[in-house]
Every structure is written in C-alpha cells, then in structure tokens.
C-alpha cells in the first residue's frame, strides 16, 4: 500500500511543474492541509461560538468540530463524516481521480474564502495563534501560491487522494486502517450494505482544534 504522500505526489506532479521538479515540496502540502483544517475549525468557533462548526468539501466529506461541556471543563471533539458522493465512491470497486475532478471540486470550495486562506497560510508554513497567521522563524518552510485557484486545486487533489486510497484499499471481510500523518487514522469497515469510514484523529490535530482563549470564550457565554 502506497503512503499518502506518495499518492498525492504523483497527482500533484502531473498538475504543477514545481512538484514535478521538486517532489519534496509535496510534504508541505500533506502536512499543511491538516493544520489548515484544524485551525479553520477553531477560527470558525472563535468567530461564532456554538456547539458545532464544520468544513464541507463538496459533497464528498465534512470535517466537524464539536464542543461538549464536562463540568467545568470544555472538550473539543473533531469528527469526520463521509457525505453522499463520498459514500457512493467508497462503494465502488476502485476509483482513480483525474486532474479535471480536482479542478471541478476546487471551483466548489473556492466559495469558502476563510478556508482557502487558511490553506494558503498553512501551506506556506505559518501557524494560527487565535487572531492571525504568524511565521515561525525567518527561514522559508512552505509552498507559496500566487493564485487562490491553485491553492484550491492542491487541497482538492490531496483530499480526493484520501477518498481514492480508502476506496482502493478496502477489504470486504476485514477492517482496513490507513494513517494520514497529522490528520487521522481512517478505518474502512465492511457493513451489510457496503462500507463505512471512521476516523481517529491525530493528537496534534486535536490540539490544534482547541485553545485556552476559545475555552474561556465558551465559558463566559455559559455564565451570561
């Protein structure tokens, strides 16, 4: 079974000469997108505190952050949901996404300007400090894009690669786990009418979803 980075590298190299000439740059993409997702979920919750916020990737998948109060503490729980198109694809025997598929999905997610900006910042090596994206150190350690459309295509290529991997490596008799570093371990399980996917999120991802500032903000709302 190929690693997640290997699959993404092959696809991005077909679309961007930069990744074909310098394949090591793909690591910034596969590492940056989980950071962007977690940070954007946190930013959404900071802007409008509520029980649940989410990022929807077309009709394929949704990343969710739920808030649960446990006495005086606040639990930040990320979740993953496969949507209608994602479920449909997962039940196929196999799938191979094309450049065109990634471009079409990119047009859909471009409407989520905050998420695209989070991806642009995270892929360039910045981190989110609850108020703004900041650089760590002075050395360049990421990929910088001029066009938002290119950011979106990189994101959709990466996330469609996840669906492709899960679809092509499932087993009709056993559960199959697939680890995506920095994001989650995905488990594909056979069920009566097909397959389901669950995710156990990486500790680093879960830590990026929460902050003391957000916990304080949520607590103050409870006492009002």
pTM: predicted TM-score of the whole model, two decimal places: 0.94
Tell me whether residue 150 is in a domain: yes
Has residue 224 been placed in a domain?
A: no
Q: What percent of the chain has pLDDT over 90?
A: 79
**Residue 139: pLDDT above 70?**
no
Q: Is residue 221 part of a domain?
A: no
| pLDDT above 80 for 31 | yes
Helix ranges (H only) for the chain are 4-15, 17-21, 26-47, 84-90, 99-109, 113-123, 148-168, 203-209, 212-223
Q: Is residue 38 part of a domain?
A: yes
pLDDT digits (tens, 9 = 90+) for 79-94: 999 999 999 999 999 9
Give the count of domains, the chain. Answer: 1
Q: Residue 157: helix, strand or coil by DSSP?
A: helix
**Predicted local confidence at residue 193, as pLDDT:** 87
Confidence of residue 140 (pLDDT cuts 50, 70, 90): low
Q: Which domain holds residue 191?
A: 4-216
- 43 part of a folded domain: yes
pLDDT of residue 65: 97
2 token code pair: 């190929």
């Amino acid at each position: 079974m190929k690693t997640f980075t290997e699959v993404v590298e092959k696809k991005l190299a077909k679309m961007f000469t930069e990744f074909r000439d310098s394949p090591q740059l793909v690591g910034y993409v596969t590492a940056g997108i989980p950071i962007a997702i977690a940070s954007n979920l946190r930013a959404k919750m900071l802007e409008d505190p509520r029980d649940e916020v989410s990022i929807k990737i077309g009709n394929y998948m949704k990343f969710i952050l739920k808030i649960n109060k446990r006495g005086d503490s606040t639990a930040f729980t990320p979740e993953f949901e496969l949507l209608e198109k994602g479920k449909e694809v997962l039940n196929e025997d196999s799938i191979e996404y094309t450049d065109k598929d990634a471009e079409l999905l990119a047009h859909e997610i471009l409407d989520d300007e905050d998420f695209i900006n989070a991806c642009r910042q995270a892929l360039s090596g910045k981190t989110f400090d609850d108020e703004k994206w900041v650089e760590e150190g002075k050395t360049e350690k990421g990929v910088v894009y001029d066009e938002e459309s290119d950011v979106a295509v990189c994101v959709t290529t990466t996330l469609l690669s996840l669906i492709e991997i899960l679809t092509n490596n499932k087993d009709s008799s056993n559960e199959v786990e697939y680890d995506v570093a920095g994001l989650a371990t995905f488990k594909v399980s056979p069920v009566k009418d097909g397959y389901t996917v669950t995710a156990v999120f990486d500790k680093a991802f879960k830590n990026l979803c929460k902050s003391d500032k957000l916990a304080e903000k949520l607590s103050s709302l409870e006492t009002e």
